Amino acid sequence: MGSRFKITIEEENTASANLKIDRIISEIVRIENLISDWIPNSQVSRINENAGIKPVKVDKEVFDLTKRAVYFSEISNGAFDISVAALEKVYDYKEGWMDEFPDEKIIQKSISKVGYQNIILDEKNQTVFLKFKGMKIGFGSTGKGYAAQKARSFAQAIGVQSGIIDASGDISTWSSNSNWKIGIHNPFRPKNPIDILKLKNAAVTTSGNYEKFLMIGGKRYSHIINPKTGIPAEGLTSVTVLGPDAEFANGLSTTMMVLGKKNGLRFIQNFPDYASLMITDAGKVIRSKNYRKLKKSLAR
């Protein structure tokens, strides 16, 4: 993940609030150490290191998270693919710019390592195996949402009645009383939110190209890569998804960035508990058909 988390909770006094926030932070760090592929000793890093060599036994939590990501890869027909991490090194996102696109041969070679179908899950032995050397999985698309959702559940378990877990824009809320107000960022007018959500026990996630992006030949490209083409997603500046679960919403917003406005809207219709607000590269705002209705119901 490597993302900044902001934790807001309601407590009777500062001492109690600080103690509980420290415990919530420890839970987030625990998850980070399990699933972040940039941490050498994480279980996900060990899976990647053993690609094409041998299955790796993992905790049930990591196994189940991987299983859900593979399922999401299946239902999106590969628009979302947990193994797209193999393409990350093709583009220099660390520098933030490139003079030109990578050579087509380099892109195609990396694409050959992408394919959720080649992730072998052994439920009985609780192992994950990547069939080919050079394959890699990563939870950049669902990890923040998962961590936000888990941190929320943990906070509730230790007696926090109301709060917000904000994982760099992927948010999970809960409240026993009043609603939390969450603004949807407008990349074209940063000081003026596109919309204000009133959420009680819900999640809202945003995927976009306005914070993390790559300039290639003077043009801005998203950090979200199309797993099938190896090319950064185009057409949408951001996709915001609201619904009950931050992990699933995270997967939806990433997938819709890849699918684009028409196919993205068709895709989210399969999940009536979730709604979306998209902003195109031209600044046009497009809401899913159920957006206003769901927005209203989540405020209750």
Residues 6+ apart with CB under 8 A from 187: 208, 210, 237, 238, 279
CA 145 – CA 126 distance, rounded (Å): 23
Residues 6+ apart with CB under 8 A from 165: 5, 6, 7, 24, 147, 148, 149, 151, 152, 155, 171, 172, 173
* Vertex 96 angle, CA 183 and 110, to 5°: 105
Q: 141 labelled as ligand-binding?
A: yes
Q: 254 labelled as ligand-binding?
A: yes
Q: First and final CA of the chain: distance in angstroms?
A: 32
CB 221 within 8 A of CB 232: yes
Binding-site sequence positions = 141, 254
Binding-site sequence positions for Mg(2+) = 141, 254
